[in-house]
């Protein structure tokens, strides 16, 4: 099941999840106690019923002063009405028009990175393009020094990669992340305070100015959103771009069709999000005892949606194990759904579309190298490559 670039561990998961959808669509994991959701219809309920399933996972996260301070502005982990209030304020600075207006700069950064590869017939897609592109764009939008790019990657690795995405649910994991949290918090807080005393324009300025019913974001709330965008945002985007290349390498006919009609790129990206979702899990907390998939889930339980399973649900998607860039009605859950739909999704889609178009224009051919192994993320967190060797043939 899956193409040649599916790690054995993921392939085994996909096979197991197909069986679970049929026999145990909702099941409690014996080791963690979490309730896991494998079927699309049940997953949609979890993702959209905010009255029953909460985004506030603080009950499962060890109490830690640094983490509590750092998470103050992360509205993705909040329930209503606080989520609506904070998201509304942040949205004033991060509007669809603002994101669309970033296209010229994204194109320029993409071309600068590709120019730096000129004359090379072999690259690591992640190091040379997929990681620096979103980090550079987000840093410029925030008014942060692009020269600190390596620092941002170090923090992202410490918070989401090195210790595993589930590290936040254990005291040992939070303790391991604490130094990076303190360092990043101080860094961002310093830049926010500088903006308060300057007249520089940019996203931080817009977030400082945002106001609704006399309420404004404080410095720590702004830091929380900036951290979410800088760390989670760039990792999701870089993984999505790498996954798109993996899908195209497995499906050369799709590559030919995209070269003939670049207008298919947006639809192709949606299919990558379904077929190879960057994230494996979507977590919620049951606010009350609820029946789901034939099971009674007690109030206070952690509920984990297996995105890689629900995206292959035969009852929702025709030929779900086929990568089809012409697929319609592709209601995947890769960016969530409902009130907690990912605010950064339009930016991620725009960056990946521009990068793929540039690669198709610049190179007559590109293929995953057979001489070096792909290094994958731990699939319990991110689905995709940490290192993706790519052979290039210039146009």
**Residue 209 preceded by cis peptide, ω within 30:** no
47 has a pLDDT exceeding 80 = yes
Band (78; pLDDT cuts 50, 70, 90): low
Alpha-carbon distance 215 to 223, whole Å?
17
Alpha-carbon distance 386 to 161, whole Å?
9
Predicted local distance difference test score (pLDDT) of residue 1: 62
Alpha-carbon distance 14 to 308, whole Å?
7
Question: Per-residue pLDDT averaged across 106-116, rounded?
Answer: 98
Predicted local distance difference test score (pLDDT) of residue 164: 65
199 has a pLDDT exceeding 80 = no
8-20+32-394 placed in CATH 1.10.630.10: yes
Report the candidate in 203, 325, 351 with the shortest Cα–Cα distance to residue 268: 325
Question: Per-residue pLDDT averaged across 179-196, rounded?
Answer: 92
Predicted local distance difference test score (pLDDT) of residue 77: 67
Predicted local distance difference test score (pLDDT) of residue 128: 97
Report the candidate in 204, 226, 185, 238 with the shortest Cα–Cα distance to residue 343: 226
The SS3 assignment for 216 reads strand
Predicted local distance difference test score (pLDDT) of residue 117: 96
249, 367 in Cβ contact below 8 A?
A: yes
Q: Tokens 């990558």 label which residue?
A: 272
For 368-394, give the DSSP string: E-SSS--EEPPTTTB-SEEE-EEEEEE
- Tell me the average pLDDT of the chain: 90
pLDDT digits (tens, 9 = 90+) for 291-339: 999 999 999 999 999 999 999 999 999 999 999 999 998 999 999 988 7
Q: Provide the phi-psi class of 293: left if phi over 0, else alpha when psi is between -120 and 50, else beta.
A: left
Q: How many alpha carbons lie under 13 Å from residue 305 in its C-beta half-sphere?
A: 31
Predicted local distance difference test score (pLDDT) of residue 73: 58
Question: Hey, what are 126's tokens?
Answer: 């992640």
The residue among 197 and 81 whose pLDDT is bigger is 197
The residue among 178 and 39 whose pLDDT is bigger is 39
Report the candidate in 3, 1, 2 with the shortest Cα–Cα distance to residue 250: 3
Question: Per-residue pLDDT averaged across 187-211, rounded?
Answer: 87
198 has a pLDDT exceeding 90 = no
215 has a pLDDT exceeding 80 = yes
E strand segments, 107-265:
122-124, 211-212, 215-216
2 has a pLDDT exceeding 80 = no
64, 178 in Cβ contact below 8 A?
A: yes
């Amino acid at each position: 099941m899956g193409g040649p670039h599916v790690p054995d561990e993921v392939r085994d998961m996909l096979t197991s999840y197909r069986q679970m959808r049929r026999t145990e669509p909702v099941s409690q994991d014996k080791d963690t106690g979490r309730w896991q959701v494998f079927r699309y219809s049940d997953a949609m309920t979890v993702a959209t019923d905010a009255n029953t399933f909460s985004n506030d996972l603080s009950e499962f996260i060890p109490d830690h002063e640094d983490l509590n301070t750092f998470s103050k502005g992360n509205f993705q982990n909040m329930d209503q009405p606080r989520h609506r209030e904070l998201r509304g304020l942040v949205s004033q600075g991060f509007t669809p028009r603002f994101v669309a207006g970033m296209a010229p700069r994204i194109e320029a950064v993409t071309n600068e990175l590709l120019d730096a590869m000129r004359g090379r017939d072999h690259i690591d897609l992640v190091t040379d393009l997929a990681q620096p592109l979103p980090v550079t764009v987000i840093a410029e939008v925030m008014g942060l020094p692009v020269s600190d790019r390596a620092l941002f990657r170090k923090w992202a690795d410490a918070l989401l990669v090195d210790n595993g995405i589930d590290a936040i649910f254990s005291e040992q994991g939070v303790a391991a992340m604490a130094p990076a949290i303190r360092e990043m918090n101080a860094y961002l807080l310093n830049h926010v305070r500088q903006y308060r005393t300057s007249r520089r324009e940019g996203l931080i300025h817009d977030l400082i100015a945002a106001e609704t019913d006399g309420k404004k974001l404080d410095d720590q709330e702004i830091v929380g959103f900036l951290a979410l965008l800088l760390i989670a945002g760039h990792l999701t985007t870089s993984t999505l771009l790498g996954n798109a290349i993996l899908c195209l390498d497995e499906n050369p006919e799709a590559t030919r069709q995209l070269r003939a009609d670049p207008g298919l790129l947006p639809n192709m990206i949606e299919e990558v999000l379904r077929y190879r979702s960057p994230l494996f899990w979507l977590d919620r907390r049951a606010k009350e005892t609820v029946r789901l998939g034939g099971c009674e889930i007690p109030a206070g339980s952690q509920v984990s949606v297996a995105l890689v399973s629900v995206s292959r649900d035969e009852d929702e998607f025709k030929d779900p194990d086929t990568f089809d860039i012409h697929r319609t009605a592709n209601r995947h859950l890769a960016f969530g759904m409902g009130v907690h739909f990912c605010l950064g999704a339009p930016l991620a889609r725009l960056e990946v579309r521009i990068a793929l178009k540039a690669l198709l224009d610049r190179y007559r051919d590109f293929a995953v190298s057979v001489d070096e192994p792909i290094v994958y993320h731990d699939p319990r967190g991110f689905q995709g490559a940490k290192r993706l060797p790519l052979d290039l043939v210039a146009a």
